[in-house]
Chain A
Amino acid sequence: MNSDAIISVRTYVLVFIGLIVLTITTTAVAFIDLGAQWNTAAALAIAVIKALLVILFFMHVLYSRPLTWVFVSAGFFWLLILFTLTLADYFTRNIGGAPLPSAAPAAQAAPRQTSETAPRGLTTSESRATQRTGTD
């Protein structure tokens, strides 16, 4: 009665080998300096391929009804909305020069004892505890 096609063990093993190879590849590539953000791009591209392999074969989506495709794509589409519009804020905060109201969140503060002379082990939370009241 199950509508799913039974996927052969051979396919599973092939996908598995693919995933292991990609894991080794992504680790190896990470140690090579590709310049700028290309390392991140490569890592994410490989991760997307791996995720697709798992979704399509291990999770049987390749053989599933259209409705399953709709639910899967909806999840990722909404993720895209979250990323696009949030980053729309962060990527446009610093354009147009000084008169704008804001800058990238880089304009932030370090804990008090960050100078090179700060003793190891003096923690951020200890110093904060003295001046703030964040307890339940």
Chain B
Amino acid sequence: MNLGFPLFPEQASTMASRVDALYFVLIGVSVFFATLICLAIIFFAFRYRRRSELERPPEISGDLRLEIVWSAIPLGFTLIMFVWGAKLYFETYSPPRNSLEIHVVAKQWMWKAQHPEGRSEIDELHVPAGQAIKLLLTSQDVIHDFYVPAFRIKTDVLPGRYTTMWFEPSKVGAYRLLCAEYCGTQHSGMLGRIVVLPPAEYQAWLSSGPTGSTVAATGARLFQSQGCVACHADKDTERGPALAGLYGKQVRLDDGKVITADENYIRESIVNPRANIVAGYRPIMPTFKGVVSEEGILQIISYLKSLGRPEGAQVEK
């Protein structure tokens, strides 16, 4: 069907066709019920139209069996939709382990992205087809929302916190990136482009730009230049713990809480070191809020991740 304008978005990720399947089932069921109701109304309105002012319709006050039937049918239908939708939703927000991690920082009114190999871009995101891409997103100001209709993905991008999402592009091409959370005057201008390249071309694109070091290496340089290394050395010192293998580990804090050292935890510890003091250490670390940019913090996180993962997630100490 070609009407000169689209009726349906492109399917360009592995998730798209699965979401669409659910969508079509919902449409099918909805059309069925809507038609049923409308036909019944039209039929009754015609068949039982008032023929005389003296008509006296029969007394029908209700029917318990009917009530049960038409409560149970919607209940069953909605429960199926709930389970199906929840399953896909859970997957949409659970990135696979081997994902390629790209950092995205949003601000009024642009998108900044940085690839692990170090290349960064604005309002564009180049990704290889057939590879799971995990995005780590944060905002510098208000709430934005990273929305790629062709991938059927969307997540709010919050200030002061990371959100993550992932997708696996299945089709080479360029797709729209839109901001879907109202963010001020130029909200509708906060557009971007996701360019899906064949993996080889993606590699070529990565090296074609201004070549810099990888994100982790940049992070490592920041780690040196900001003096982090003075306290966080290779071995635990009196002043601070060693950070190798920190990412993903369970950390015991001095108030007894145990939390997972994820991206949000590391970010918090950099901008707001006193919020979570690791058990056995004194609160002496100064904040790096405003000293290191949001991009810089993401680079340091990458560096820390590159220092290795724990073998088994164990409670420290």
Contact = CB atoms under 8 A, between A and B. Distances in A.
Contacts of B263: 98
A95 B161 CA distance: 16
B93 interface: yes
Interface string A20-50: 0000000000000000100000000000000
Q: Size band of the B side of the interface?
A: 20 to 34
A49 B114 CA distance: 57
User: In this complex, which of B94, B160, B164, B287 has the most chain A Cβ atoms within 10 angstroms of its Cβ?
Assistant: B287
User: In this complex, which of A99, A105, A111, A114 has the most chain B Cβ atoms within 10 angstroms of its Cβ?
Assistant: A99
A111 B163 contact: no
Given A108-B161, A115-B286, 8 more contacts: A98-B248, A99-B93, A99-B94, A99-B164, A101-B93, A102-B163, A102-B264, A106-B276
Given A108-B161, A117-B286, A98 B262 contact: yes
A64 B115 CA distance: 69
B271 interface: yes
B261 to A, nearest CB: 8
A109 B260 contact: no
Given A99-B164, A101-B155, A102-B161, A107 B265 contact: yes
Q: Size band of the A side of the interface?
A: 20 to 34
B95 interface: yes
User: In this complex, which of A102, A109, A115, A117 has the most chain B Cβ atoms within 10 angstroms of its Cβ?
Assistant: A109
A103 B289 contact: no
A112 B161 contact: no
Contact of B286 (A100, A104, A111, A116): A116
A98 B276 CA distance: 17
B161 A103 contact: yes
Contacts of B289: 109-112, 114
A107 to B, nearest CB: 4
A97 B287 CA distance: 25
Dominant secondary structure of chain B at its interface with chain A = loop
Contact of B287 (A98, A106, A114): A114
A109 B272 CA distance: 6
User: In this complex, which of B160, B164, B274, B290 has the most chain A Cβ atoms within 10 angstroms of its Cβ?
Assistant: B290
B262 A109 contact: no
A108 B259 contact: no
Contacts of A106: 268, 275-276
B230 interface: no
B93 A100 contact: yes
A75 B261 CA distance: 40
